[in-house]
Structure 1
Amino acid sequence: MDKKIGVFICTGCGIGEALDAEKLSKVATRDLKAAVCKTHGFLCGAEGVDLIKKDIEDQGINTVVVAACSPRVNYDVFNFGPSVIAERVNLREQVVWSHPANDEDTQIMAEDYLLMAGAKIKAMELPEPYQVENPSKAVLVVGGGLTGMAAALEVAKAGYQAVIVEKEATLGGYAGKFYKFAPTKAPYTDLEENPIPALAKEIGENPLIKVYTSAEVEQIAGGPGKFDVTIKGGGSERVGAIILATGATPYDPAKVENLGFGKYADVITHAQFEEIAAKGKITRPSDGKEVQRVAFIQCVGSRDENHLPYCSAACCVETLKHATYLKELNPDAQAYVFYKDIRTPGKFEHFYKKVQADGTVFLKADVAGVGEMGGKLLVEATEAVTGDKVVMEGIDLVVLANGMVPSYSETKQPGMEEGKTILNLAYRQGPELPLLKYGFPDSHFICFPYETRRTGIYTAGSVRAPMHVTSTLEDAAGAACKAIQCVESTARGVAVHPRSGDLSFPEFFMQRCTQCKRCTEECPFGAINEDEKGNPLPEPTRCRRCGTCMGACPERIISFKNYSVNMIGGMIKAVEVPEEDEEKPRILIFACENDAYPALDMAGINRLEYSQWVRIIPVRCLGSLNLIWINDSMSGGWDGVLLMGCKHGDDYQCHFVKGSELAEIRLSKVSETLDRLGLESERCRQVEVSIMDYQEIPKIISDFAERLEELGPNPMKGF
């Protein structure tokens, strides 16, 4: 499109007092060739917005540059529709609020940012949404237990079709076998009837819910909006999103050998206790006699580095429920609970106090073992507070609160010869979801708890994280909302998350593709398949728009209409780097838009000053970093390049999972490029920055600047 540029400079929030707006206007008209350039004291107000809209309508402006506050704020105010290119220049947080007012170098910084915006809009094109032909808005729910049933009902209540695939002959899953449920409503002290039968009836009567029982998923191909699901023993379905709700399985208590499971008939698990209680009388498996003294042992396998390092979340509340069973079915019986910590969050605290008041004895102790004496069981333990040894004899029944293992922990992963299959994805990256270290499907647990690394596939319930049955109801609703958001966004042709609403998607110039496979291997989300020759086959609806593939491609054949290698390269070259004798170094910062860029904004909001020599380019993710940008900056005379990205590793914070880690790997290979230019590798550095690290920003930048000063000016200046 032929661009007609309008530049609008805000003088509010201290910008007008700190900068020479007239000089900025000259840069806009002279260098950006702006047809219109105006200043306003309150650009984000109604009058300021109307000023811009009037010029769009009357002057035919189709490319708008707003030089004002951070692009992280007022993004809805400065959205002028899909037919207008809009670019923001951050004069407030990252110029006048973080640098001296009415200073020559602060003014040059502001002018440089305007020049960088001009280079960017020159290369930008209006993105067009990727439209799926006849997109499906149905939601597949894999697993027909409590979570899956609740999720399907939430989907149907919102007016969407749900499809349940359950491997057993009936719905209900693990919770379907419960005698009763822990309290879920006020006064949070009374047990409730198992809701599974009522939920199953409601599902059977709902015309928007289709149920496959005694069935499994044979294959899932395609992507959001067009998942083609083949069901073993059932046929096929096209759905727009998927909820994985296959739950968890109990940890094998026989692995905790000192507790006697499998050795003594009267040492049983939570699940077995449920079955006994459902018969209306608590009896010993060994002889069928009614019990009088029951020991409940907590954290069997859980919170144990030799077994399950995590808390299984449900065990404490389930034990309270079982102690209540015992008291209700035999008021004269006595319950003893051996625990590490009682975890009863929220309203369950009322339930805990009720069980205490009913006479259950709680002992904070480490259980050494379970033995037998005189035809009954005994429990040996060490009291946690006093250190005293405790031997409790005459126990009729020991109930082990064994932890939970996600049902997905043994699924077939890339490189595995064996393993269970559940989703059977037709993805180049493997048939199942990537896992975290404990076997739970990988997701950004801080910001996007339901969203797995396969776009449009969401987890809910105890397959996602250990949780009690009441928490799974909330989880089911959350995953259902995410699935609905996915099908609606996909139908509109926009990204789902985390760049929600983004119209762009990667485009591949296949004529130069060398089939190196780096884009398919490095994409964290499985958004690219391959044909038999190794050519990439992008699946746009799976794409999160992070640009990792763009950064990975050595031939630079992948780009977005509003984000590309050449676009960022143009921004780098737009800055006039001072000569060596001016003693004004230039430091280029590539800042992740999700953590580092907000931290830089926060530094400005808190009026923390940092070096005037820096120029910041926000990137969608450090994973989109292409090494040509390092080459361009170094050969262009920049003195140093600082990459600011998210924390990576097991507890990663990267919104795009692997981006920061991949950037670090790429940066480790940049020394060859710098050696060729006769430069030190220390001129390029990567740091991990979270939004909460904003107070460290000045020190991070000053430390890097001091090291560059030791190295001296870039010898490429002036070339």
Structure 2
Amino acid sequence: MDTKVGVFICEGCDIAKSLDIDKLKEHATGECKAAHCASHRAYCSPEGVQEIKDAISANELNRVSIAACSGRVFADLFQFGHDILVDRANLREHVAWCHEPNDEDTQMLGEDYIAMSCAKLSNSAPPDEKTLEISKDILIIGGGVTGMQAALNVANADYKAILIEKENELGGWSRKFHKLFPKKAPYKDLEDPNHEAMIQQIENNPNITVRKSTKIKRTKGQPGEFDVTLQNGSGEENIRVGAIIQATGWRQYPTKKLEYLGYGKSPNIVTNIEMEEMAKSGKIELPTGGEPKSVAFIQCAGSRDKDYIPYCSAVCCRVSLKQAKYIREQYPDCKIYIIYKDIRSPQQYELFYMQAQADDGIFLTKGEIENVAADNGKIKIDVSETLLGEDIQIETDMVVLASGMVSTNKVGNKFVDIGPMEKELLIGGSEDEKDEDEEPKSEEAKEFLEGGKKAAAGAEAGPEILNLAYRQGTDLPSLKYGFPDSHFICFPYETRRTGIYAAGPVRAPMDIATSMNDAYGAALKAIQSVEAVSVGKAVHPRAGDLSEFDFFMQRCTQCKRCTEECPFGTLDEDEKGTPLLNPNRCRRCGICLGACPERIITFKNYNIVMHSKMIGSISMPDEFDEKPRILVFICENDAMPALDMVGQMRMKYSPFVRFIPVRCIGSTNVIWLNDALSKGFDGIMLLGCKKGDDYQCHFVKGSQLAATRMTNVQDKLKQLALESERVEIHEIQIDDYDKIPKLIDDFVEEIETMGYNPFKGM
């Protein structure tokens, strides 16, 4: 079927006051070869929408360009069926609201955006609709409170849940706790652990299958088609599931690392876990025997320390307040000292903290621990930088160290202060990262990672929980602290393995109440995943996207760029390095498209030719017109919304700039830059999301990859006798909108000083 593009130009929101609508229509049907063009006072009105529908029917249109407001507005309103592709040319935020009205340059800008939209539509096709036969069962790994709650959530939504636990009973850490923090008003009374009631619900639910004393030997496949081999004492069991929730919890920071706080110097220096075990046994007493007359709690024992755990473990302060309450109830005359960096007892737990403050037998002080020493059956603690500024010494019978939480996804116990992308650990872990007590990699893992579908040379060492048969490693990739985030702010449950979700302390330190809430989110995301995959849709961040990558394998050179650079492990490879496709793992970021030097990767609605045609559709003034042209590839996730905000705030910037949105700045292929320079563009800018430890990139490492590629591009420019400064890359957070106009104008000024592209007009 021939493509027939219809252009619909809105006159509202100052567009008609800034642009000559008749000239725009003439440009659309002339230069852009649109089959139909019309205008309306407000296409977002019921009458306007109906006019578009009537025009589609009357003119047999299958492509619709709406030249109006941002594509982030009224997205659902302008949908006319699967076979009708829709694009939005932003004449409001990007033209009328940020440039001089009725100006020649503003008019040219509006015409170029319509031309780019028509070129985009003419070189796109509707993605195929499909229905896949997949499994919608959900596998939950970890039988603690988080895992049990996730299983109940899945089952209560009428999906099948398979819950596996490596121990011989469910309950996890909750089994070891004497009492829990209060979870309801007045937030003063400790509560009994609730795992027994949850276990009863699990056992009585027909939608839940439980496998205890079970681990995962291997996980193959993709969302909807995860083939998992379970292993226990009675042998192996193969199951197929649609999504996975990893709720494997946390482990205590190793006590041997706490020697600097006196651990090991006296039996009466214990950890908070050991104190909890005493309380659980029914009798708190000194390990050396007898009743304690005084007990000191040292907070942040290993946490918030650059040499140990750099982060806050979230629950330790409240654990110490809880355990102080244990001791005071058993020994009313016992004095309690709590030495803290900061007491963190957020939200309603402040009431719990205030109750401890009101207890005359509990003494709290801020301070730094200088020394802990055992002396004649007593323990002496030297404290500096106290609230009153004095150095003090506390003599006590017993010390409790509030040791921190480490994600079970973390390999080893050394926390290296490096960024998430620089952490390229070799299989088995680097010598720096390994902990002396860490178990060696299993023979199965070594066999898989060293042969067959080879793992990437820089694949991260995993804890062998999932045992994924992925090229990029056996487990969930982690950030520098071991937490398996994908994009913490926008997608807290997502990991960098599509269809696998993290819940509870495995993804961030949290208490039981928070973990149970976390289980709801992960369960809902897992259900959303299987439902989306069943009809071929992406889950996130491009939720609902039906497009699927297509590889023209005849031209593949086995360079491995796509298999190595995909942030989500979508592609495996055979022994020769040829990509093995797993479309259900794909998040449609297009980073592989940007990486491929042979340009063999394409999406029906996002491809190399489409962008090249968009670049070619932009009018290029002669250098004697003194109208430079700057092309900006802008990420649709943060930078584009920030640019929309520039328009909404009516902030001005140069009209010589043309923006082309990309799915991720990492999807920008070098050929587009070549096309732009050949076309005569005087400068090129890439606006992506923030990279680094607290990255904002929705696709994790797109900005970092783009920055690396741009270094190579700038070197190439020098070889062509072009200034490397003609290509720049910048990072924009969504709240950096106010910086964009100056960023643009400074670049335009620099280009004007530099002079026009010598290839212009050639």
Corresponding position: 1:59 with 2:59 = yes
CA distance in 2, matches of 1:446, 1:20: 42
CA distance in 2, matches of 1:583, 1:356: 72
1:195 corresponds to:
194
1:179 corresponds to:
178
CA distance in 2, matches of 1:323, 1:223: 48
Question: Does the residue aligned with 2:162 lie in a helix, a strand or coil?
Answer: strand
CA distance in 2, matches of 1:254, 1:386: 32
CA distance in 2, matches of 1:296, 1:306: 21
Q: Deviations over 1:234-256 (max 9, x none)?
A: 51221111111111111123322
CA distance in 1, matches of 2:359, 2:240: 53
CA distance in 2, matches of 1:307, 1:622: 35
Q: CA deviation at 1:258?
A: 3.3
Q: Deviations over 1:513-560 (max 9, x none)?
A: 111111101111100111222211111110010000001111101000
CA distance in 2, matches of 1:311, 1:22: 62
> Of 378, 386, 389, which aligns to 2:388?
386
Partner AA of 2:519 in structure 1? A
Which structure 2 residues correspond to residues 570-609 of structure 1 after superposition, within 5 A? Answer: 570-609=613-652
Of all paired residues, the percent bearing the same amino acid is 53
1:69 corresponds to:
69
Corresponding position: 1:503 with 2:546 = yes
Q: CA deviation at 1:512?
A: 0.9
Q: CA deviation at 1:580?
A: 0.9
| 1:413 and 1:430 in contact (8 A); partners too | no
2:437 corresponds to:
none
Q: Deviations over 1:565-595 (max 9, x none)?
A: 1100000011121111111110000000011
2:243 corresponds to:
241
Corresponding position: 1:214 with 2:216 = no
1:34 corresponds to:
34
2:150 corresponds to:
151
Corresponding position: 1:12 with 2:24 = no
Question: Does the residue aligned with 1:443 lie in a helix, a strand or coil?
Answer: coil
Q: Deviations over 1:490-516 (max 9, x none)?
A: 112100000000010111111111111
CA distance in 1, matches of 2:552, 2:294: 74
CA distance in 2, matches of 1:527, 1:442: 17
CA distance in 1, matches of 2:297, 2:223: 46
Q: Which runs of 5 or more residues in structure 2 are unaligned? A: 413-423, 430-439, 442-462
CA distance in 1, matches of 2:87, 2:369: 64
1:118 corresponds to:
118
Q: CA deviation at 1:676?
A: 5.0
CA distance in 1, matches of 2:757, 2:59: 45
Partner AA of 2:94 in structure 1? Q
CA distance in 1, matches of 2:609, 2:394: 74
| 2:247 and 2:502 in contact (8 A); partners too | yes
Q: Against the structure 1 CA distance between its residues 489 and 662, is the aligned structure 2 distance closer, same or farther, given a 3 Å change threshold?
A: same
Which structure 2 residues correspond to residues 326-341 of structure 1 after superposition, within 5 A? Answer: 326-341=327-342
1:88 corresponds to:
88
Partner AA of 1:415 in structure 2? I
| 1:591 and 1:622 in contact (8 A); partners too | yes
Q: CA deviation at 1:606?
A: 0.4
Q: Against the structure 1 CA distance between its residues 129 and 526, is the aligned structure 2 distance closer, same or farther, given a 3 Å change threshold?
A: farther
Which structure 2 residues correspond to residues 113-512 of structure 1 after superposition, within 5 A? Answer: 113-129=113-129, 131-132=131-132, 134-233=133-232, 234-287=236-289, 289-359=290-360, 360-393=362-395, 395-410=396-411, 414-416=426-428, 418-419=440-441, 420-512=463-555
Partner AA of 1:409 in structure 2? K
Question: Does the residue aligned with 1:109 lie in a helix, a strand or coil?
Answer: helix
| 1:167 and 1:216 in contact (8 A); partners too | yes
Q: CA deviation at 1:58?
A: 3.7
2:672 corresponds to:
629
1:718 corresponds to:
761
Question: Does the residue aligned with 2:494 lie in a helix, a strand or coil?
Answer: strand
Q: Against the structure 1 CA distance between its residues 372 and 532, is the aligned structure 2 distance closer, same or farther, given a 3 Å change threshold?
A: closer
| 1:519 and 1:549 in contact (8 A); partners too | yes
Question: Does the residue aligned with 1:65 lie in a helix, a strand or coil?
Answer: strand
> Of 588, 596, 599, which aligns to 1:553?
596
CA distance in 1, matches of 2:750, 2:123: 34
Partner AA of 2:372 in structure 1? V
| 2:538 and 2:587 in contact (8 A); partners too | yes
Between 605-614 and 266-275, the greater mean CA deviation after superposition:
266-275
Q: Against the structure 1 CA distance between its residues 675 and 363, is the aligned structure 2 distance closer, same or farther, given a 3 Å change threshold?
A: closer
Q: CA deviation at 1:655?
A: 0.4
Q: Deviations over 1:58-100 (max 9, x none)?
A: 4322211100001111111112221111111000000011100
| 2:187 and 2:348 in contact (8 A); partners too | yes
Q: CA deviation at 1:130?
A: 5.6
Question: Does the residue aligned with 2:198 lie in a helix, a strand or coil?
Answer: helix
CA distance in 1, matches of 2:729, 2:366: 47
TM-score norm. by structure 2 comes to 0.92
Partner AA of 2:481 in structure 1? Y
| 1:144 and 1:165 in contact (8 A); partners too | yes
Between 694-703 and 357-366, the greater mean CA deviation after superposition:
357-366
| 2:265 and 2:374 in contact (8 A); partners too | no
Which structure 2 residues correspond to residues 511-590 of structure 1 after superposition, within 5 A? Answer: 511-590=554-633
**RMSD of aligned residue pairs (Cα, Å):** 1.5
Partner AA of 1:612 in structure 2? P
Partner AA of 1:629 in structure 2? W
Q: Which runs of 5 or more residues in structure 1 are unaligned? A: none
Which runs of at least 4 in structure 1 moved beyond 4 Å after TM superposition?
411-414
CA distance in 1, matches of 2:639, 2:284: 59
2:432 corresponds to:
none
Question: Does the residue aligned with 1:28 lie in a helix, a strand or coil?
Answer: helix
Partner AA of 1:674 in structure 2? L
Q: CA deviation at 1:357?
A: 1.9
| 2:682 and 2:751 in contact (8 A); partners too | yes
Partner AA of 1:106 in structure 2? T
| 1:130 and 1:505 in contact (8 A); partners too | no
Q: Deviations over 1:371-405 (max 9, x none)?
A: 23342333222252333222222x23211101111
CA distance in 1, matches of 2:255, 2:158: 43
CA distance in 2, matches of 1:631, 1:142: 48
Q: CA deviation at 1:309?
A: 0.9
1:698 corresponds to:
741
Q: Deviations over 1:334-382 (max 9, x none)?
A: 2221111100000100111112223321121222233233423332222
Q: CA deviation at 1:416?
A: 2.5
| 2:11 and 2:21 in contact (8 A); partners too | yes
Partner AA of 2:308 in structure 1? H
CA distance in 2, matches of 1:659, 1:579: 35
TM-score norm. by structure 1 comes to 0.97
| 2:243 and 2:500 in contact (8 A); partners too | yes
| 1:414 and 1:430 in contact (8 A); partners too | no
Q: CA deviation at 1:453?
A: 0.7
Partner AA of 1:100 in structure 2? E
Q: CA deviation at 1:31?
A: 2.8
Question: Does the residue aligned with 1:165 lie in a helix, a strand or coil?
Answer: strand
Q: Against the structure 1 CA distance between its residues 204 and 511, is the aligned structure 2 distance closer, same or farther, given a 3 Å change threshold?
A: same
CA distance in 1, matches of 2:546, 2:260: 59
2:654 corresponds to:
611
CA distance in 1, matches of 2:224, 2:484: 22
| 2:141 and 2:147 in contact (8 A); partners too | yes
Q: CA deviation at 1:140?
A: 1.1
| 1:592 and 1:621 in contact (8 A); partners too | yes
